[in-house]
Homo-oligomer: A and B are copies of this chain.
Amino acid sequence: MPPYLSVSRRTRRTPFTDRVTAAGVTAYTVYNHMLLPTVFQSVTEDYRHLKSAVQVWDVACERQVEIRGPQAAELAQMLTPRDLSEMKLDQCYYTPMVDETGGMLNDPVTVKLAEDRFWVSIADSDLLFWIKGLAVGYRLAVDVIEPDVSPLAIQGPQADELAARVFGDAVRSIRFFRYKRLAFNGTEFVVARSGYSKQGGFEIYVEDSRQGEPLWDALFEAGRDLDVRAGCPNLIERIESGMLSYGNDMTRANTPHEAGLGRFCDTRSAIGCVGRDALLRVAREGPLKQIRYLEIDGEAVPPCTEPWTVMAHGDVIGTVTSAAWSPDFSTNVAIGMVGRDFWEEGTLVELVTPDGSRAARVREKSWL
């Protein structure tokens, strides 16, 4: 059995926690000092349902850092090696964020709300502290705050149908990583086509905690015949989809290039990024190790709670950091980092797990 979680004010509740509890959540993780559901019925049952119906996810833990003011765009560009200069007013960008050495501090989605106003929708680290530190140190004319905004995701094959019933048919024409401002209960919300699965869907940036329960209830009311259920980011599906998890698959020790995110690094044009100097060299020489997907032989692996060593010819050549049994692919799916001599498609490697040694095969692409 896993351990229990002691909940206190510090492991913050969300506007949806009472609903999530009523829906039968059985396990959480803590993410940005906030409760993030991880299991309702079981990881496998939640997975089957996510892939066949539609779920509503409490991802309020994706906290926003709001950057606002005359130098907001300048500060946003300091944070990331992705070039933000062409970003449109209805766009969301996946933005690796790095320190002055090119080490990843977070991999948020940046939402452009106005020319002088951005939301940075963060993964699990106090990115607010880094942004505020830079703003103070560089004496920038910006305000940096955590607003009362709690994302709620709709994910699954029936996500468009469910979202349309509550926000209108306009949701259907929202393009990937774009957003529209759509009304619920007389209030407009940012509704983006995005989310931490490949089953399709939206993230609603719920402004004002008091709007949380009415919106949750409206979605469940509207989706009854769609078998809508409370869900959460699913370990199996996110590995099949190759979705990285900051803190699991990459940390401050890694560059975006090691994380396989080189395509989001416009190192030449992203002038102003504080990590640009460090990344110019990485971009030219390429990383020595990089994110790869692995198929692990044998029965279901145990939970991956610390990096597992990857070996080849008796040498340590990488680590696996996320792994789960995939019912749909009838194999163990995994994410790790592998050295450049061994990262080609199909390379056979050996994995050291708590249950003993396993054969594994390197993949360049994820399963979904």
Contacts and interface: CB of A to CB of B under 8 A. Distances in A.
B129 A125 contact: yes
Interface string A149-184: 000000000000000000000000000000000000
A8 interface: yes
A317 to B, nearest CB: 18
A23 to B, nearest CB: 12
A13 interface: yes
Nearest to A38: B6
A303 B8 contact: yes
Nearest to A37: B3
B136 A9 contact: no
Nearest to A232: B6
Contacts of A131: 133
Interface string A249-281: 000100000000000000000000010000000
Interface string A3-18: 1111111111100000
28 contacts: A1-B4, A2-B5, A3-B5, A4-B28, A5-B27, A6-B29, A7-B303, A9-B307, A9-B321, A10-B245, A10-B247, A11-B30, A33-B124, A99-B132, A100-B132, A100-B136, A125-B129, A126-B126, A126-B129, A126-B130, A133-B133, A133-B134, A133-B137, A134-B137, A137-B137, A137-B138, A137-B139, A146-B252
What 3 pairs between A and B have smallest CB-CB spacing?
A137-B137, A133-B133, A10-B247
Given A9-B321, A127-B129, A130-B133, 19 more contacts: A1-B4, A2-B4, A3-B25, A3-B28, A4-B5, A5-B5, A5-B30, A8-B248, A9-B247, A9-B248, A9-B304, A9-B306, A10-B248, A11-B29, A11-B305, A125-B129, A128-B129, A129-B129, A133-B137
